Amino acid sequence: MNRTLFRVLWIIAGVLLIIAGIFCLCNPNVGLMTISLYIGIAMLISGIIDIIIFAKCNGTMIGAGWFLADGILTVLLSLFLLFNQKFTMLSLPFIFGMWLLFSGINQFVNSFEMQRLKVKGWGWMTALGVLLAVVGFFSLFDPIANLLALSIMAGILLIFEGIAAIVRSCLSHRFLR
């Protein structure tokens, strides 16, 4: 029962992140405040789901501490995005880049736990983790981006985050005890 719940929660988080990404791609002219609101909501839900999963399977899942760390960081960043809109307009590229960098490293580290457990498909998590970390790292170099470029970047990266959550759900039966 818990495995199914976790898989459903990961799928929900993934779908919400993908929807937020598609919104950013389809509406490149929306203001940065609107983007930060949608990103903040998607990140908040994703972070809460990671914390719930940690709380429910702390002793039964390999690498559960990483889910807690990722969940807490994601919730904190989402609250910052949601409640500090004016400063967020200036700092969104930095916040988003740091989130992607940390989340990518988390995916990368978890993929090697999956490899150690001989889980098929662990390479996809490695590739997504590297991609997210690299894009997050490089996004920190040019924080002054125009709204169109930021919207497109945010949309693509949110879709990658959503795909990573769905892949985690699909592979979870192999690493949940």
pLDDT band at 8 (very low <50, low <70, confident <90, very high): confident
CB 157 within 8 A of CB 23: no
Would you tell me how many other CB atoms lie within 10 Å of the CB of residue 2?
12
Name which of 27-36, 60-69, 165-174 the model is least confident about: 27-36
List pLDDT tens digits, range 38-57: 778 888 998 898 888 888 87
Would you tell me how many other CB atoms lie within 10 Å of the CB of residue 62?
16
pLDDT of residue 31: 54
Distance CA 47, CA 13 (A): 9
List pLDDT tens digits, range 96-118: 778 888 889 988 988 888 888 88
The third-level CATH classification (topology) of the domain covering 2-175 is 1.25.40
Domain boundaries defined on the chain:
2-175
> Angle at which helices 32-57 and 147-175 pack, to 10 degrees?
10
Distance CA 124, CA 38 (A): 27
